[in-house]
Amino acid sequence: MTIKDAQNQVDNWIKTIGVRYFNELTNMTLLTEEVGELARIMARTYGEQSFKKSDLDKNIADEMADILWVLICLANQTGVDLTDAFQQNMEKKNNRDSERHKNNEKLK
């Protein structure tokens, strides 16, 4: 599946099952909430916190997919082509950071 396919699939789902997009501010808030849920599972899986019973049925992949879903909703709502945006972002990083990380003593 391409990023464009994912954007189309989410848009189709929203229009046929989801009734309509939540407004942009609601979706931004939901994105923040989903990132928090991922952070909670990451802290318990890789950090020093122990799992609570309510966390045991959560998984990292599903939490990441929830974040991707809401991000795609926001992109669709605001007219952002994520494929194009990602390609431009990679070009920016390649130009800006071509030597930066190789020369970072902290990464050696």
Contact 79, 21 (CB under 8 A): no
Phi-psi region of 19 (alpha: psi -120 to 50; beta: other; left: phi over 0): left
Would you say residue 102 has pLDDT above 90? no
Give me the helices (H) in 24-108, please: 24-45, 60-78, 82-96
Looking at the chain, the whole-number percentage of residues with pLDDT higher than 90 is 79
> Tell me, what's the pLDDT at 24?
98
Q: pTM to 2 decimals? A: 0.88
- Residue range 79-93, pLDDT digits in tens: 999 999 999 999 999
Contact 67, 38 (CB under 8 A): yes
SS3 of 104, please? Answer: coil
Contact 27, 73 (CB under 8 A): yes
> Tell me, what's the pLDDT at 104?
87
